[in-house]
Amino acid sequence: MSNGEMSAAAQIGGTGVSGNAELLANAGHWLLQGGPVVVVLMMLSVIAATIIIVKVSQQVRLGGGHAAAVDRALSAWRLGDRASASTVLEKGRSPVERVIAAAMRAKANGLTEGLVREEAMRLAVIELGALRGHLRTLEVIGMLSPLLGLLGTVLGMIEAFQQLASAGSQVDPAMLSGGIWEALLTTAVGLVVAIPVVASVHGFERSAERHQQAMEDALTRFFTGAAGEHAPPVSATHAAEATLATATR
């Protein structure tokens, strides 16, 4: 590379760095103009981002494909091959696999069907509670952020009109317009924080609902298949599913 090309590349790099620095400076200026409400919103956004990262990592750890493993385990259990059924599920990472594996262990240890059912429901509630953990905090942030933004806008408008009243007859339109855009800034920040948070909450809730449905289905198949001719009636199965759904709300 010639000296001229190196100089041009250095100039381009310097321009990019200065542009980024200017952008960060403008963003910092806007945030400072928003006042304490924007600072609170930024703190809430950091909390929300941390929770979202934790929940996404939780979903990644759970992985997918548990339906096939549960199907193989239940088929082996019905055929009387309890060792193979336990082997299929022992390395499972999903809540469904862990709950079914616990139910199989309890059944193999000679517990009555009623006790096995109670233990499976207890573990299912714990697993679903972990899936829904911290979602209430995200819901609160999603609801409060627009309200805080609106509060900042109202306070900013009040301040702008106070300045306008203090100016008397020498009213400067730039003063009013500047106060208005600074006030509206807090509403924009509040919406920017709230929209991804609300979307994330719905996504995580849907994931928890899918796991709950999979648990209900797998537990029903386990108890009806394990009991054979003594399978619980449909009403009892529905009652167990209703208990699980109620306990996890």
| Residue corresponding to tokens 């900013």 | 156
CB 198 within 8 A of CB 81: no
Residue 198's pLDDT is: 95
CB 137 within 8 A of CB 158: no
Collapsed DSSP state (helix, strand, coil) of residue 241? helix
Q: Is the pLDDT of residue 101 over 80?
A: yes
**Does the predicted TM-score (pTM) go above 0.85?**
no
The residue-averaged pLDDT of 15-40 equals 64
Helices (H) and strands (E) in the chain, counts: 9, 0
CB 137 within 8 A of CB 55: no
| Residue closest to 185 by CA, chosen among 143, 144, 149, 142 | 149
Residue 47, C-beta contacts closer than 8 angstroms, at least 6 positions apart: 137, 141
In the structure encoding, which two tokens stand for residue 239, read together? 């009652």
pLDDT band at 33 (very low <50, low <70, confident <90, very high): low
In the structure encoding, which two tokens stand for residue 62, read together? 């759970």
pLDDT band at 87 (very low <50, low <70, confident <90, very high): confident
What does the pLDDT look like over 196-246, one tens digit per residue?
999 999 999 998 998 888 888 888 888 887 433 333 443 444 444 444 555
Gap between the Cα atoms of 44 and 140, Å rounded = 10
Gap between the Cα atoms of 187 and 150, Å rounded = 5
Gap between the Cα atoms of 48 and 45, Å rounded = 5
Residue 227's pLDDT is: 37
